[in-house]
Structure 1
Amino acid sequence: MTAARASRGEAIELSDQRVLQDVGIYRYHHPLEDAAAYKDRLRDLETQIDSIVRVGQPVLAADRFTFDGSLAKGRKMVGDLSKLMLRAYNAEADNCVRSLRSGNISTAKKRLEAAVAAIEKLGTIMEMRVNPAFHALRLAELELTADFQMKVQEERELAREEREQLREQRRAEQELAAERERLEKEKSHYVIVMASLRASGDDAAADELAGRLAQIDEAIEANDYRIANIRAGYVYVISNVGAFGPNVVKIGMTRRLEPRDRIRELGDASVPFRFDVHALFFSEDAITLEGELHRAFEDRRVNFVNERREFFFATPDEVRDLLAAKVGGLLEFTDAPEALEYFQSRSRWPAATLGSGPVVVG
């Protein structure tokens, strides 16, 4: 969809998808710390805008224009038309602000520039034009509003992900604490039984239980290490060919006692099929290992706007080779996804959808 420019006969692209593609990654015009800072800056800007309007300077025009031979009538006409032009300009500026969405700032600025050009063309006889200082303030308002919207969106996404990380952390802590309690109970049981066997003279059976107790002590030690070391966990490589296509993987990490529980949660109702697991690798510093893998595929991200999304255009084989180079031989790695639900479902899909395949979403 396009809008004609009155002054130049050019077209302004209004398609959000086209504009967002042309703009690329959003760049802040006025980098500030948080959304609250943008809100404060916008309030200051509104004060400046109101100040220019109060002193009668938003629209500049000739002050010696006469009408019907009268300078007074000419000034009144200029004043009335200036108010009308200001209304038109402010209406367009307010509409640009109201319709602004993250990323389409370039379109809004072009529309406002078109309004300035149209007013100047219509007011040529009276040398009427929008005050450049006033126009600059309204352009700054557009930029700050766009920055504010983007910052709010980022903060909401960050808060959501932080809440999810906290929930994941609590689940991991609860699972490890429950496992510690289970192991302690099992150990206490074996200690009692072994003491009873020693007392009855069955040293062979007691020695067998002693071996089991040693294994339990090792498990307790490993569990305590997991509890104390928040960087320890599993790095996983998973895919969902039915949702994202054949050459997209997710590389993540979890501290959960059973990492497949986390992967099952990722395959909830938000995606049509469950994830396939290609690799699970326990690392004493899973956070660093995950970061190294992400950096290796940095230029092949699916989502370049939100880098906390861990999907990459890569095959499981490519990740396996890199992972093996960093940690040594992998005991278990699955190259091809099983994707049972996806392959079984395709036979029931409408014929028109089968040629397109899965759609990648970031």
Structure 2
Amino acid sequence: MDTGTLIALGVIFLPWILLIVARVKRKKLQRQLDKANERVEESLSRLAKFEEKYAPITNIERHAKELLDEAEEDAQSTRHEAERILSEATATLKESKEQAQSLKTEASNEAKRITNFAEEQAKEIAGSALEAKAKADSYEKAIIAMRNTIEGYRDEYIIPNHSILDDLAEEFSHKEAGEELKSARKRVREMVKDGRAGSCDYAEVNRRTYAIHFAVDAFNGKVDSALSKVKHDNFGKIKQEIIDAFALVNHNGAPFRNARINQEYLDARLTELKWTVATFELRKIEKEEQAAIKAQIREEEKAIREMEKAKKEAEKEERMLQKALEKARSELNQATEEQKVEYEAQLAELEAKLKDAEDRGQRAISMAQQTRRGHVYVISNIGSFGEEVFKIGMTRRLEPMDRVKELGDASVPFAFDVHAIIYSDDAPSLEKALHKRFELASVNKINPRKEFFRTTISAIKQTVEEHGINDVHWTLKAEATEYKESLAIQKDIDKAAEPHPERVKENSISMPSA
């Protein structure tokens, strides 16, 4: 075939060939699609099984997410509510503070108004006489203050610090007094801050503020200086010093449109003084109590050492007497009839000494074991303290006279006279009861722990007997031997120092005439 024929045949059969090829390719693609569909169906089936298997977990996660969303919403709502409540509370608190401040200011203003009204009424009734009297009182107080500043504060201003404690409960401590002092100082600061410490008649605000500030500063400087000098015996003087500062500051402030310290502020600072003194005194009392406790402990330790020593000495003496008794009994058995009388007397004496040593040792052991046993002593020292002044004390020493001798050492010029040594199973309680009974008769009103009382020996004896203690030997009259002998010697010295009458006569004759 020629070329043309071939081309013609190709043109005729080419579409059929292309159609066949396309069909073959479509079948191949269909098979691939069917396989893909099968895989998809299989995947969908597995996915369905997976969802069915893990559906509860999915539901829980969904539920948890829902709960979390709800919790966040609730928290947001609660937070908003809390912020609203806090805002309202803050506003309420602010309003309450403003109301309280307003009430305080109104009360202060009302008090001033009432005071001013009363003064105006008094002026209307009394006229110029009231004003003249007020000025006279002011001048008089200023004069007294100036005199005290120049001459000093004399004994007429003495008020015992201890009197501050009279209205307080017995168990009131210096810590509680310290809290009261803090409260008093806080009130003083608030009065200054609120402008209630001073007053002035200036109409212009700046001048009035400056004048009041100047007066208050001057007054506080004087008061603070006075309070820093608080001691155990100057309450009355410091109180007067503060009152004088009030008078002087008000007197000096008169030219500045009557710049002055208010009476209320003076009272507040006097209250501060009261609690300062109370804190000082209570702290001092507690220190003294601690010192007394330590001294008592030392005394008891010394007493115990003495008891131990007495016990050992008694035991040693017992051993020596036992040996002596054994020896005496041995010699008695070998003695003749004439020697037996002598040995029996010696034996009886040794047995009595042995019993006495045993008793002393037993007493030492007993007193060491029972710490409240002891002796209350009643002693006096006329030469040192005068008539009818007695010291009532207590000791746990086995020999109470050792304690009495210690008290009569170099600290006093003469030895003490003993009126009674009273043994008691509860010596501290007996001593306390006697001190309570004669409290008003205490010589030292500030520190009654000195244990000296101005009373009679018969009154002390009667009080002891009222406690059921009768088997006590009392010496009602003090011998005061050293004191009386010293008086006699001094009398002889004074008599020897007097000029002889005849010598005086001779001297007067021999003197030349003027």
Please confirm whether the aligned pair reaches a TM-score higher than 0.5, indicating the same fold.
yes
TM-score by length of 1: 0.75
Moved more, 175-184 or 193-202: 193-202
Give the whole-Å Cα distance in 2 for the aligned partners of 1:171 and 1:16: 46
Q: Alpha-carbon deviations, 1:170-191, whole Å to 9, x = none?
A: 1111111111122223334444
Give the whole-Å Cα distance in 1 for the aligned partners of 2:247 and 2:153: 22
Q: Which amino acid aligns with 1:335?
A: K
- Where does 1:2-21 land on structure 2 (aligned, <5 Å)? 7-10=138-141, 11=144, 15=153, 17-20=155-158
Give the whole-Å Cα distance in 2 for the aligned partners of 1:16 and 1:99: 16
Q: 2:164 aligns with which of 1, 7, 27?
A: 27
Matched residue, 1:142: 273
Query: Could you say which structure has the higher strand fraction?
Result: 1
Q: 1:289 to 1:83 in 2, by over 3 A?
A: closer
Report the 3-state secondary structure (helix = DSSP H, G, I; strand = E; otherwise coil) of the residue aligned with 2:138.
coil
Give the whole-Å Cα distance in 1 for the aligned partners of 2:411 and 2:325: 51
Q: 1:331 to 1:27 in 2, by over 3 A?
A: same
Matched residue, 1:260: 401
Report if the CA contact (8 A) 2:161-2:235 is conserved: no
Q: Which amino acid aligns with 2:305?
A: Q
Q: Which amino acid aligns with 1:85?
A: A
Matched residue, 2:480: 338
1:93 aligns with 2:231: no
Give the whole-Å Cα distance in 2 for the aligned partners of 1:27 and 1:158: 19
Q: 1:281 aligns with which of 412, 422, 428?
A: 422
In the alignment, structure 1 segments of 5+ residues that lack a partner are: 66-73, 352-362
Matched residue, 1:358: none
Give the whole-Å Cα distance in 1 for the aligned partners of 2:391 and 2:410: 17
Q: 1:291 to 1:59 in 2, by over 3 A?
A: closer
Give the whole-Å Cα distance in 2 for the aligned partners of 1:35 and 1:151: 5
Q: 1:85 to 1:321 in 2, by over 3 A?
A: closer
Report the 3-state secondary structure (helix = DSSP H, G, I; strand = E; otherwise coil) of the residue aligned with 2:449.
coil
Matched residue, 1:218: 359
Matched residue, 1:173: 304
**Offset of residue 90 of structure 1:** 1.0
Q: 2:197 aligns with which of 40, 54, 58?
A: 58
Q: 1:30 to 1:126 in 2, by over 3 A?
A: farther
Q: Alpha-carbon deviations, 1:58-100, whole Å to 9, x = none?
A: 33335x71xxxxxxxx433323322321222112212321333
**Offset of residue 310 of structure 1:** 1.9
Question: Larger RCO: Structure 1 or Structure 2 (Cα < 8 Å, ≥ 6 residues apart)?
Answer: 1
Q: Which amino acid aligns with 1:337?
A: E
**Offset of residue 258 of structure 1:** 1.6
Report the 3-state secondary structure (helix = DSSP H, G, I; strand = E; otherwise coil) of the residue aligned with 2:412.
coil
Report the 3-state secondary structure (helix = DSSP H, G, I; strand = E; otherwise coil) of the residue aligned with 2:450.
coil
Give the whole-Å Cα distance in 1 for the aligned partners of 2:154 and 2:428: 37
Give the whole-Å Cα distance in 2 for the aligned partners of 1:311 and 1:154: 18
Report the 3-state secondary structure (helix = DSSP H, G, I; strand = E; otherwise coil) of the residue aligned with 1:273.
coil
**Offset of residue 103 of structure 1:** 5.0
TM-score by length of 2: 0.55
**Offset of residue 240 of structure 1:** 0.9
Give the whole-Å Cα distance in 2 for the aligned partners of 1:165 and 1:346: 39
% identity of equivalent residues: 26
Q: Alpha-carbon deviations, 1:304-351, whole Å to 9, x = none?
A: 333323222234455445546753354462513233146415754998
- Where does 1:1-362 land on structure 2 (aligned, <5 Å)? 7-10=138-141, 11=144, 15=153, 17-20=155-158, 26-28=163-165, 33-43=172-182, 45-53=184-192, 58-62=197-201, 65=203, 74-120=204-250, 122-123=253-254, 126=257, 128-131=259-262, 134-191=265-322, 202=333, 208=348, 212-320=353-461, 323=464, 326-328=468-470, 330-331=472-473, 333=475, 335-341=477-483, 343-344=485-486, 347-348=489-490
Report if the CA contact (8 A) 1:241-1:339 is conserved: no
Q: 1:49 to 1:324 in 2, by over 3 A?
A: closer
Q: Which amino acid aligns with 2:293?
A: E
Q: Which amino acid aligns with 1:164?
A: A
Length, aligned pairs only: 337
Q: Which amino acid aligns with 1:19?
A: Y
Report if the CA contact (8 A) 1:248-1:312 is conserved: yes
Report the 3-state secondary structure (helix = DSSP H, G, I; strand = E; otherwise coil) of the residue aligned with 2:140.
coil
